[in-house]
């Protein structure tokens, strides 16, 4: 059975991100049908990584929106786009989530671990105090 490549996948509308006075990405319009493995290529400094980080919910856009599977992505603890996978330059965490939430996301997606198993791992490592802290506060 073949996949319907016309189904909603990833779409952006006016997606932009500014760092200080510099626009890293400006007004990106992108439509990728569902079910496709897609490469995202361009010259250095073109904004590929920043765009992917916004699509994956790792950073917030300055303006514009992202839709995944026809649903608009919002940013917050319940917005993790479990159905999007991307390989970006370096590992990244969801800054708006706690250490536990980040670890649980990774453990669930890669090993199918439960919340209890992640909690037990943190306990075994003596890291339960850090579990409820947001990652953005880590150094």
Token pair of 129 as six digits: 């105090």
pLDDT tens for each residue of 59-93: 889 999 999 888 888 766 555 555 565 656 556 67
pLDDT score, position 26: 97
pLDDT at 125 over 70: yes
pLDDT tens for each residue of 1-43: 445 556 678 999 999 999 999 999 999 999 998 877 777 877 8
pLDDT tens for each residue of 91-112: 667 778 888 988 888 887 777 8
pLDDT at 118 over 70: yes
Q: CATH second-level architecture of 1-92?
A: 3-Layer(aba) Sandwich (3.40)
Q: Map out the domains of the chain as residue ranges.
A: 1-92, 99-137
């Amino acid at each position: 059975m073949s996949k319907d490549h016309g189904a909603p996948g990833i779409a952006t509308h006016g997606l932009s991100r500014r760092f200080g006075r510099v626009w890293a990405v400006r007004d990106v319009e992108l439509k990728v049908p569902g079910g496709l493995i897609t490469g995202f290529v361009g010259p250095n400094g073109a904004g590929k990584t920043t765009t992917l980080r916004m699509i994956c919910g790792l950073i917030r856009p300055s303006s514009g929106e992202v839709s995944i599977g026809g649903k608009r992505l919002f940013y917050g603890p319940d917005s993790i786009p479990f159905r999007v996978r991307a390989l970006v330059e370096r590992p990244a965490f969801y800054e708006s989530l706690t250490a536990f939430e980040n670890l649980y996301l990774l453990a669930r997606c890669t090993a199918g671990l439960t919340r209890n198993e992640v909690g037990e791992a943190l306990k075994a490592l003596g890291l339960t105090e850090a579990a409820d802290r947001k990652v953005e506060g880590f150094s």
